[in-house]
Amino acid sequence: MTEISAAALRGAVDLSSLRNRPASAQPAAGAPAPPAGEARDVVVDVTDQSFGEILELSRSVPVVVDLWAEWCGPCKQLSPIIEKVTREQRGRVVLAKVDVDANPQVAQAFRAQSIPMVVALIGGQPVPMFTGAVPEEQVREVFARLLEVAAQNGVTGSVPFGDGEGDDPAEAEPAPMPPLHAEAFEAIEAGDYARAIAAYEKALAENPRDDDAKAGLGQVRLLHRVQGLDLQQVRAAAAAAPGDVDAQFQVADLDLAGGHVDDAFGRLLDLFSDADPEQRTRIRERLVELFELIGPTDPRVASARTRLTSLLF
C-alpha cells in the first residue's frame, strides 16, 4: 500500500491480545524507556512482551512497525531505508522493529503472511503502509501521509531525539504546512469535513499536482460520507434494496472505513455487473475514487481493477 488512509483507523487488525501482555522481568533490549526527557534513538527493537508499550506510545506519537527476519533478503534492503527516514523525522515518528521469528505473537496479531511488512500505529490502531521492498522515494511519500493522518487524528506528539551525530537544532523544525492544508487539518479536528473538503479542493485548483491535497481530499470525502451513519441501519437498508446504488455505496464506504477493503470492492463490483449503463458510470467513478484512496499499487486494488476491466469488456 502506497498511501495511508485515515479510514483504516477503524481497525482491521485486532491487537487487543498484545495490549495488556505482561512485560518480562527485565526490560527487552531496545524497548521504549519511561519518559525522562532524555534524547534517545527513535529506532527500537520490540518483543512480544514489550509490544504493549509501543501500542500505548502510539497514542501520542505515530509508530511504524517493521516486521522482518534475518533470512529475509528484501528486509535487508528496506529496513535501512525505513530507519533513515524515521531518524530524519527527528522524534515525530518512532520505528519499532519486530523479528517475526523471535516474536511470533506480534506477527500473528498483524496477520503477517509475507515480509517485509510495514504497518503504522496511530492511537493504538493499525494502518497498513506497504508489503515488500519499496524504493526510498516511495517510503518518504508514505511517511508524509502517515504524519498527515496522525495529525488528523490528534496524534502530534514527539519523543526527545538524539542520534549522537551532532544534531542541528535548526533541522528539528518541521517545514511549515501550506496554509490550505493547515486550514483543512483544523477543520478535520473540529469535525467540519465540508470545510476541509473545500480547502483541499482549493489547494488542488491552485496546484493540480498537489498529491498531498489529492490524498487528503479522498480521505476526508470518505470520512464526510460515513459521518453519522449507523452500520446496522445501513446494512439493513442495503439488504432490503440490493439494486439501490446509494444504499450499496454507504455499505461500501463503511466497509472501507472499517478496513474491509475487499468487501467494499466486491460489493461495488457485484453491483456494477448487474447495473444499467447510467448506474455503471456512477459505480465505476466511485470505484476509481476508492482505488485512489487505498493506493494504486495495493494488491487488492490491482485485483479489483482486473475484475472491473473484465466486466467492462
**Span 159-196, pLDDT tens digits:** 887 654 444 434 445 557 789 988 988 888 788 989 99
Each residue's pLDDT tens digit, 219-249: 889 889 998 889 899 999 999 999 999 999 9
Answer yes or no: do 75 and 185 share one domain. Answer: no
Q: Does residue 162 belong to any structural domain of this protein? A: no
Answer yes or no: do 219 and 198 share one domain. Answer: yes
| pLDDT given for residue 65 in this prediction | 94
Answer yes or no: do 197 and 247 share one domain. Answer: no
Distance of alpha carbon 37 from alpha carbon 45, whole angstroms: 20
Contacts of 23 (CB under 8 A, 6+ apart): 49, 50, 52, 53
Range of the domain at 288: 231-312
Answer yes or no: do 115 and 186 share one domain. Answer: no
Q: Contact at 8 Å (CB) between 199 and 270?
A: no
CA distances from 129 to 118, 168, 236 (A): 6, 30, 32
Answer yes or no: do 18 and 124 share one domain. Answer: yes
> Active-site residue among 6, 42, 72, 226?
72
Answer yes or no: do 33 and 91 share one domain. Answer: yes
| pLDDT given for residue 15 in this prediction | 53
For the chain, what percent of residues have pLDDT higher than 70?
A: 83
β-bridge partners, 7: none
User: Side-chain half-sphere of 249: how many Cα atoms within 13 Å?
Assistant: 18
Question: pLDDT averaged over the chain?
Answer: 81
C-alpha cell at 257: 472505513
Q: Does residue 168 belong to any structural domain of this protein? A: no
> How many other CB atoms are found less than 10 A from the CB of residue 152?
21
Question: Could you tell me the pTM of the whole model?
Answer: 0.49
C-alpha cell at 93: 515518528
Whether the per-residue pLDDT at 153 is higher than 90: the answer is no
Q: Does residue 114 belong to any structural domain of this protein? A: yes
Each residue's pLDDT tens digit, 209-222: 888 888 888 888 98
Distance of alpha carbon 205 from the chain centroid: 26
Whether the per-residue pLDDT at 112 is higher than 90: the answer is no
Show contacts of 227-236: CB within 8 Å, 24+ apart: 227/191, 227/193, 229/253, 229/254
C-alpha cell at 183: 486550514
Answer yes or no: do 212 and 241 share one domain. Answer: no
What's the structural domain count of the chain?
A: 3
The CATH number of whichever domain residue 293 belongs to comes to 1.25.40.10
Is residue 93 among the annotated active site residues?
no
Q: Residue 114, class by beta-carbon neighbours within 10 Å (0-12 exposed, 13-18 middle, 19+ buried)?
A: exposed
CA distances from 6 to 19, 62, 182 (A): 22, 13, 16
> Active-site residue among 44, 46, 55, 75?
75
Is residue 274 among the annotated active site residues?
no
Full DSSP string of 244-307: -HHHHHHHHHHHHHTT-HHHHHHHHHHHHHT--HHHHHHHHHHHHHHHHHH-TT-HHHHHHHHH
Distance of alpha carbon 29 from alpha carbon 112, whole angstroms: 23
Each residue's pLDDT tens digit, 86-100: 999 989 999 999 999
Answer yes or no: do 217 and 235 share one domain. Answer: no
Answer yes or no: do 17 and 118 share one domain. Answer: yes
Whether the per-residue pLDDT at 293 is higher than 60: the answer is yes
CA distances from 216 to 10, 104, 124, 140 (A): 17, 35, 21, 16
Whether the per-residue pLDDT at 6 is higher than 60: the answer is no
Answer yes or no: do 48 and 97 share one domain. Answer: yes
β-bridge partners, 130: 118
Q: Does residue 161 belong to any structural domain of this protein? A: no
Each residue's pLDDT tens digit, 18-77: 544 444 333 333 334 434 344 457 999 999 888 888 888 998 999 999 999 888 888 888
Whether the per-residue pLDDT at 286 is higher than 90: the answer is yes
